[in-house]
């Protein structure tokens, strides 16, 4: 127990110092997460890369074991597959997260790296061979062990990434999962897994000091993907030491909230015709804030309580027989259904309009592909304007404007403005301004005006406009126009 406490304390101190250092440096270097989208909850720029503190805090006591001649250190070094999997796989995931936080990584790159890491873990012995079935005999996966293991690792990595939407939420959710695995490891006498979880718990708490609402730093994808990776890998090792009645059920329940939120997002986006990897404000934490009128901090505390409940059920499953496990799962299922109804996920009235929304979203995605393709193929600013003009008919605009400013050979600036108007409707004008940006440089702005009585745009329209703006920014950067405007991203100006 002394070794576990030392590991926890060392990781806590390293995470505290490293997170504060990264926060200060990120502010000095301008590595900030801008509040430039309607799905953002924060209202001011916040430093990113807080995950560096979590990573450093987790690995600090583990690296010390290579230098200390002790029984625990020898036991740790003897498990070469576990050590190699955590260090090598963790390093790759951290590199991917850093690249995404600093430069931005597309879904294809993320999944390529994540699947490669998952296959590597499987080759090192991280395998799920049995799925529990409390209602009957366990299911031996056999040849399906590889795809199931890979999907588990990739799924948990992205589940922690998706739920990272409020101050302290992803870190707190991960802490409850870590605590559950720690208690299970202690109950089974698995000192090595308990050591890993103690180190990770200390790193998370050290980071949460700066991340709990109001946060002064975010973990970014570096932290969320790393937490998901470690929890996925350790959960596999934990499940292999479980009784066959609960194999894999315990880690699934311990990570119940992020897994449930991810599954809901996949089903929701599929049914509504949205891109699978698009962002929205329909996650569980968003619904709690809007439908139950909870504050930012209250929402996080409620979800902490939900995670605590899932953790208690996971611990109970570890000691339950098949019949008791089945009863527990039925009770949890009933509670989940009640929660889904309370949050509006099972709203039958909304389901009636879902087909119509799906058809519109699919059409909108097709239109955006055509527009962005034309914009990226443009050889002049006028061609860029001609590429975006179909937005007027598609979105029912009464006025559309695209403005650039380029630097002339004389050193003076020359403003370029393209504008089109249609017959105005009877409604009060509602304007939306979208910045055209290349990295941190603002190259232009696109103005759209409606007169159909609206006071906002929905997330699907916003997503479409952001994709068009990104395509315009690529062409604008290639054609070298420059502009100086206020650095918003998508801001409603007035109604």
Whether the CB-CB separation of 419 and 436 falls below 8 Å is answered with no
**Secondary structure element (H or E) that encloses residue 418, with its range:** strand 413-421
Average pLDDT over residues 311-315: 89
How buried is residue 118: exposed, middle or buried, by Cβ count under 10 Å (0-12/13-18/19+)? buried
Query: pTM of the prediction?
Result: 0.81
Confidence of residue 456 (pLDDT cuts 50, 70, 90): confident
Tokens linked to 93? 């995931």
pLDDT value for 240? 63
Q: Which residue has the higher pLDDT, 424 or 170?
A: 170
- The SS3 assignment for 281 reads coil
Binding-site members for Mg(2+) are 161, 221
Average pLDDT over residues 128-157: 84
Confidence of residue 128 (pLDDT cuts 50, 70, 90): confident
pLDDT at 493 over 50: no
User: Helix count (H) and strand count (E) of the chain?
Assistant: 19, 9
Angle between helices 220-240 and 145-162 (to 10 degrees): 140
pLDDT value for 396? 86
pLDDT value for 239? 67
Whether the CB-CB separation of 163 and 258 falls below 8 Å is answered with yes
pLDDT value for 484? 45
The number of angstroms, rounded, from the C-alpha of 368 to the middle of its chain's C-alpha atoms is 24
pLDDT at 38 over 80: no
Whether the CB-CB separation of 13 and 21 falls below 8 Å is answered with no
The full set of domain ranges for the chain reads: 2-348, 354-494
Q: CA-CA distance, 486 to 483, in Å (whole number)?
A: 10
Q: What phi and psi values does residue 322 have, to the nearest 5 degrees? A: -60, -45
pLDDT at 60 over 90: yes
pLDDT at 42 over 70: no
- The SS3 assignment for 438 reads strand
Closest of 395, 392, 450, 457 to residue 418, by C-alpha: 392
Average pLDDT over residues 40-49: 67
The number of angstroms, rounded, from the C-alpha of 157 to the middle of its chain's C-alpha atoms is 9
Bridge partners of 268, per DSSP, are none
Binding-site members are 161, 221
Q: CA-CA distance, 356 to 430, in Å (whole number)?
A: 25
Concatenating the DSSP letter of every residue in 56-81 gives HHHHHHHHHTTTS-SHHHHHHHH-HH
Closest of 249, 260, 251 to residue 133, by C-alpha: 249
- Name the architecture of domain 354-494: 2-Layer Sandwich (3.30)
- The SS3 assignment for 124 reads coil
């Amino acid at each position: 127990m002394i070794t576990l406490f030392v590991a926890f304390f060392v990781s806590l101190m390293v995470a505290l110092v490293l997170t504060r250092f990264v926060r200060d440096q990120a502010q000095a270097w301008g590595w900030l997460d801008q509040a430039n989208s309607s799905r953002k909850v924060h209202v001011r720029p916040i430093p990113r890369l807080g995950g560096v503190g979590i990573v450093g805090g987790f690995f600090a006591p583990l690296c010390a074991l290579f230098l200390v001649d002790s029984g625990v250190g020898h036991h740790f070094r003897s498990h070469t597959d576990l050590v190699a999997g955590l260090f090598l796989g963790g390093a790759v995931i951290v590199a991917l997260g850093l690249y995404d936080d600093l430069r931005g990584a597309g879904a294809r790159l993320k999944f390529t790296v994540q699947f490669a890491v998952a296959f590597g873990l499987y080759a090192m012995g991280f395998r799920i061979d049995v799925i529990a079935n409390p209602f009957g005999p366990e299911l031996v996966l056999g040849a399906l062990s590889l795809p199931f293991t890979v999907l588990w690792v990739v799924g948990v990595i992205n589940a922690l990434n998706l739920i990272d939407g409020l101050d302290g939420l992803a870190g707190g959710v991960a802490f409850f999962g870590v605590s559950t695995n720690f208690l299970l490891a202690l109950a089974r006498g698995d000192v090595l897994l308990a050591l890993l979880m103690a180190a990770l718990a200390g790193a998370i708490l050290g980071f949460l000091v700066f991340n709990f609402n109001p946060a002064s730093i975010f973990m970014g994808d570096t932290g969320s993907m790393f937490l998901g990776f470690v929890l996925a890998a350790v959960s596999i090792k934990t499940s292999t030491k479980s009784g066959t009645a609960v194999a894999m059920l315990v880690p699934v329940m311990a990570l119940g909230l992020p897994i449930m939120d991810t599954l809901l997002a996949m089903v929701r986006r599929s049914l509504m015709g949205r891109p699978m990897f698009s962002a929205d404000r329909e996650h569980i934490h968003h619904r709690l804030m809007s439908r139950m009128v909870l504050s930012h901090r209250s929402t996080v505390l409620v979800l902490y309580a939900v995670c605590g409940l899932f953790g208690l059920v996971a611990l109970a499953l570890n000691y339950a027989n098949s019949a008791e496990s089945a009863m527990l799962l039925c009770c949890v299922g009933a509670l989940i259904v009640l929660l889904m109804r309370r949050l509006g996920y099972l709203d039958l009235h909304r389901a009636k309009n879902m087909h119509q929304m799906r058809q519109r979203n699919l059409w909108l995605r097709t239109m955006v592909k055509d527009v962005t393709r034309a914009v990226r193929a443009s050889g002049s600013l006028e061609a860029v304007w001609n590429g975006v003009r179909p937005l007027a008919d598609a979105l029912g605009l009464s006025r559309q404007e695209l403005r650039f400013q380029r630097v002339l050979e004389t050193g003076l600036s020359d403003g370029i403005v393209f504008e089109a108007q249609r017959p105005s409707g009877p409604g009060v004008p509602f304007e939306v301004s979208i910045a055209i940006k290349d990295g941190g440089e603002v190259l232009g702005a696109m103005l759209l005006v409606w007169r159909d009585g609206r006071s906002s745009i929905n997330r699907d329209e916003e997503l479409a406009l952001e994709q068009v703006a990104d395509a315009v920014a690529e062409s604008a950067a290639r054609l070298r126009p420059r502009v100086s405007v206020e650095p918003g991203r998508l801001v409603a100006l007035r109604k």
